[in-house]
């Protein structure tokens, strides 16, 4: 409990200085309350070894948690144990079991599917067939949006935080055509600017 409290306090400091999002501390508390405290209970931290951690992983799996959720909880446990080691509560870090990570890349359009999508959107703009959303007919704006997303490497959720002030048009020169530099709010741990394809400018 002492090491976990220190880990959470450290997380709060990192949130204050802008290193992490507030959600991180909320997640820490949630993992501690829902999973760690019920399993470890009053177990002295010196008795938490690799076998105990494997039992903990197996318990989480038995609850039906997926590998990504188990990995996140074990990551928090690892941070707590590292804090305990730094504070001299344990002599060495026990090995943290790693759940198998199954690669699950997001589905994507191939070139043919993308051009087919654009061609269908062109037909819809002309009312062939007529398609409406909440009484508003679908017009060219949707095709422009799709083109902008694809050429700017944006996910749908990224658009909700995107504002005009985040976008700068970098003029073309002898080295190449114009493109957009997008300084969007940090997303998924990435804060670097996005450089779009030239088509996104129009």
Look at residue 98 in the predicted model and tell me its pLDDT. Answer: 79
Separation CA 119–CA 148 (nearest Å): 16
Look at residue 14 in the predicted model and tell me its pLDDT. Answer: 87
Mean pLDDT of 44-48: 91
Mean pLDDT of 87-106: 80
**How much is the pTM?**
0.54
157 token code pair: 């959720």
Examine the pLDDT at 188 and tell me if it is beyond 90.
Answer: no
Separation CA 122–CA 128 (nearest Å): 9
Mean pLDDT of 108-126: 92
Question: 77: how many CB neighbours lie within 10 A of its CB?
Answer: 24
Mean pLDDT of 27-52: 92
Separation CA 11–CA 13 (nearest Å): 5
Look at residue 154 in the predicted model and tell me its pLDDT. Answer: 87
Mean pLDDT of 122-149: 90
Confidence of residue 63 (pLDDT cuts 50, 70, 90): very high
Task: Confirm if 46 and 90 have CB atoms less than 8 A apart.
Answer: yes
Separation CA 158–CA 123 (nearest Å): 27
């Amino acid at each position: 409990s002492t090491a976990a409290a220190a880990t959470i306090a450290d997380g709060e400091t990192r949130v204050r200085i802008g290193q992490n999002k507030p959600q991180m501390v909320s997640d820490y508390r949630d993992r501690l309350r829902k999973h760690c405290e019920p399993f470890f209970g009053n177990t002295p931290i010196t008795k938490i070894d690799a076998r105990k951690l494997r039992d903990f992983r197996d318990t989480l799996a038995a609850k039906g948690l997926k590998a990504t959720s188990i990995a996140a909880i074990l990551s928090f446990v690892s941070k707590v144990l590292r804090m305990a080691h730094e504070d001299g509560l344990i002599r060495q870090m026990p090995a943290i079991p790693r759940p198998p990570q199954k690669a699950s890349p997001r589905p994507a359009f191939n070139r043919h599917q993308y051009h087919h999508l654009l061609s269908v959107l062109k037909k819809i703009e002309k009312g062939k067939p007529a398609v409406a959303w909440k009484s508003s007919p679908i017009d060219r704006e949707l095709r422009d949006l799709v083109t902008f997303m694809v050429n700017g490497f944006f996910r749908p959720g990224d658009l909700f935080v995107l504002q005009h002030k985040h976008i700068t048009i970098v003029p073309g020169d002898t080295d190449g055509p114009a493109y957009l530099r997008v300084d969007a709010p940090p997303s998924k741990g990435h804060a670097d600017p996005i450089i779009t394809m030239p088509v996104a400018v129009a």
